[in-house]
Chain A
């Protein structure tokens, strides 16, 4: 983009266009001939990864918007129906939801890379500030997107974050009302968040164009932190950077696919599988993992306004970095002190992320304050001082010299730092996990599930038995509002025929109407009907159950979770363990004890259950031996009933699980093949450069 293009098309038609709109010349000089420093490491591929992720998020987002309904009464259901009914809806939703996390994961590496190698220094200040603006826009977009499914965490997250603005002196309350478009978070809020969530990515794309433009004017920074001097210092963007980026993107896609196909809910909060309820606040309101450090800073300051200012300040301070750090040496590679402090800063950020997920009490508050201080001290005290007192090591004369001086040890450092980053990311996630653990009580025992693991499938027998248990026991209080009778005949389900599903449906009475006379009436169920709830509404359900509301069971296995403790979440990531919900539900069904232990006072109308939080549950023991007759000779015991009905509920929570795992296997085989091919192609291409 710097200087006139030397691109000369030969085709007359292209010549005609180029004379009038030199777009091909622009593309050529930006992405083909553009000189790239030849010593870039793989941290530089995150720029390409981010461009791809922005594209992926916009594409899947536009598609999801075709199926989504931005209305407080319909949003939750529309998201569930995208996953259940839309062709490949589950895939698109997983890509978009996990994609948000991947986007932030990549942007953090991109930012830390810029920090480490001094990418914000002269002449790249504007480039850096544009990056900070993009990051702010990403945060706003990510937050508003998280609100759209209108689950419990969405609703309460929106309430908490918009209330931040009430800290503004004098105008605070008016600003919050303005943001809500009502007296509380409600339908107008959801509607405008949807509109803005659709708009902002295009604004981001616009700023990204400026970001790339500024990059191409100033040229890329590089690990040595010296500017290219001669032609020997650079290689043309295509094919060198293109192939390297393609390989990097392919590796990243493998990581991404792990989440999409095998851990789709690992990064989300189970609470968001419960529809928004303005009358009940979740025990812990935790933002998504990528906001946790800032959330920790917010909570560390014991003053509302100061906390909000500190939180926003933590991001805004980044924009002043070019002037806070006045060291002449760019890359921390040659700054022995700055290098060490950089890694300490990384640890501080991860520590803040961990604290953001902990309850704000006791030692966490104190450590949070210390880390908040250290966070700001790094920018406001350390870097300005360091840039004056530090004596950097000599930098190489040129990029070519840097490349020649490289030893084989480089790859090892790269790998270890990437692993360190991944472990650190895991820590952050684990922190988010443990925020839900505070309820206490014994951990439910891990059951063996046929559907666990990458090759897991539903046990058809268990699904059919579970359906029977549901119908004869659970259905007297609980509905399955997201499961239709037709689902029973769909692939991946209990394996009934269409006629069997229709016959099953006709045993139910479904309320319909109004008819020509204006009356509601009851008719036999049809395959297209959803499993009805036994109660007309929540109030009637509460009245019939001593004030307790029997939740809808369609999503219960996803809406329940329990903490897994420190190293487990890392193991969970690698073993793809995501059966906390089923383990919990099965344990709850079997956790009843006739007599509460000595010293425990059971509230009136409650029953003792060792796995229920607080141990006092309003639901009486639902299952007892011999209650349901099995035709296939399975033991008629509580343990068997619990296991079968939980398997069935797992299917109701995710009817496309088998399709997800099967497609995941194919995608993995493909991506591994592509990555290997790209690796060798990249090697061959780069062989020419040495």
Chain B
């Protein structure tokens, strides 16, 4: 098999080889797609991630509950006056991830804090009403969050995220 000519000027044979190789390569690339795509959440998992409704009436002031949405724990805290004030009267400049308390709760519903209870460091679950700021404390690596779920101390880089939610009525929220 001598294709010495191919280096200088391409021949029809080279074209055939390149065309065959390219078609095979395209086929291989497309074949990989379903093999990767199957790892994504399936239709039933996506359907199970539909919004959930939570009734707030049983949560007394100073209490919090944990609900699950899309496999994630969501803390719903009924904050006391003192906690709300503590959250509001913080110099934003002193925060690692500056965010006013008003951006983390719904207007007119200051007493309700809804956050995804997953430490933004490495995904552990912080404990409520613990730590120096009476907010959340993650025992794994010592991240401390305040009563607004903002990071104050420790290795976590950002505040606890607020999930999408709306007030259906004064005593009921829909998460998702």
Contact = CB atoms under 8 A, between A and B. Distances in A.
B20 A484 contact: no
Interface string A310-346: 0000000000000000000000000000000000000
B27 A670 contact: yes
B2 interface: yes
Given A59-B35, A684-B16, A484 B23 contact: no
B50 A527 contact: yes
A63 B1 contact: no
Contacts of B13: 684
Contacts, number: 73
Contact of A486 (B2, B38, B47): B47
A528 B35 contact: no
B45 to A, nearest CB: 8
B34 A92 contact: yes
Interface string B1-36: 110000000000100110110011011001000110
A671 B43 CA distance: 30
Contact of A678 (B20, B42, B44, B50): B20
Classify the interface of chain B: helix, strand, loop or mixed. Answer: helix
B27 A674 contact: yes
B139 to A, nearest CB: 29
Contacts of B44: 81, 85, 484, 528
A84 interface: yes
A34 to B, nearest CB: 16
A681 interface: yes
A681 B30 CA distance: 22
Q: How large is the interface on A (under 10, 10 to 19, 20 to 34, 35 or more residues)?
A: 20 to 34
Contact of B38 (A87, A527, A689): A87
Max count, chain B CB within 10 A of own CB: residue among A246, A527, A673: A673
Interface residues of B, number: 25
A92 B1 CA distance: 40
Nearest to A63: B38
Interface in A73-113: 81, 84-89, 91-92
Max count, chain A CB within 10 A of own CB: residue among B27, B43, B50: B43
Nearest to A530: B44
B89 interface: no
A91 B37 CA distance: 12
A646 B45 CA distance: 29
B16 A85 contact: no
Contact of A528 (B23, B24, B38, B47): B47
B34 A87 contact: yes
B40 interface: yes
A685 B2 CA distance: 10
A678 B23 CA distance: 10
Contact of A84 (B1, B23, B43): B43
B2 A688 contact: yes
Interface in A652-690: 670-671, 673-674, 677-678, 680-681, 684-685, 688-689
A81 B1 contact: no
B67 interface: no
Nearest to A688: B1
Max count, chain A CB within 10 A of own CB: residue among B20, B27, B45: B20
A670 B30 CA distance: 11
A677 B26 CA distance: 13
A425 interface: no
A239 B1 CA distance: 10
B4 to A, nearest CB: 12
Nearest to B22: A677
A536 to B, nearest CB: 22
Contact of B23 (A67, A81, A677, A684): A677
Contact of A86 (B16, B19, B20, B42): B42
A526 interface: yes
Nearest to A64: B38
B40 A685 contact: no
A674 B24 contact: yes
A684 B35 CA distance: 34
Interface in B30-65: 30, 34-35, 37-40, 42-45, 47-48, 50
Given A87-B37, A526-B50, A681 B17 contact: yes
B13 to A, nearest CB: 6
Given A484-B47, A486-B47, A684-B13, A88 B38 contact: yes
A88 B2 contact: no
A677 B27 contact: no
Nearest to A239: B1
Contacts of A84: 43
A677 B38 contact: no
A87 B50 contact: no
A91 B30 CA distance: 13
B42 A677 contact: no
Interface string A563-579: 00000000000000000
A174 B130 CA distance: 60
Interface string A337-366: 000000000000000000000000000000
B42 A63 contact: no
Max count, chain B CB within 10 A of own CB: residue among A526, A677, A689: A677
A87 B48 CA distance: 16
Contacts of A678: 20, 24
B42 A89 contact: yes
B59 to A, nearest CB: 14
Nearest to A663: B34
Contacts of A674: 20, 23-24, 27
A681 B43 contact: no
Contacts of A66: 38-39
Given A86-B42, A486-B43, A681 B35 contact: no
24 contacts: A66-B39, A81-B42, A85-B42, A86-B43, A87-B38, A88-B38, A89-B38, A91-B34, A92-B35, A246-B24, A484-B47, A527-B47, A528-B47, A670-B26, A670-B30, A674-B20, A674-B24, A677-B19, A677-B20, A678-B20, A678-B24, A681-B17, A684-B17, A689-B1
Closest 6 CB pairs of A and B: A88-B34, A528-B47, A688-B1, A85-B43, A677-B20, A85-B42
Interface of B: 1-2, 13, 16-17, 19-20, 23-24, 26-27, 30, 34-35, 37-40, 42-45, 47-48, 50
Interface of A: 59, 63, 66-67, 81, 84-89, 91-92, 239, 246, 484, 486, 490, 526-528, 670-671, 673-674, 677-678, 680-681, 684-685, 688-689
Given A87-B42, A490-B43, A671-B27, 6 more contacts: A63-B35, A89-B38, A92-B34, A670-B27, A680-B16, A681-B20
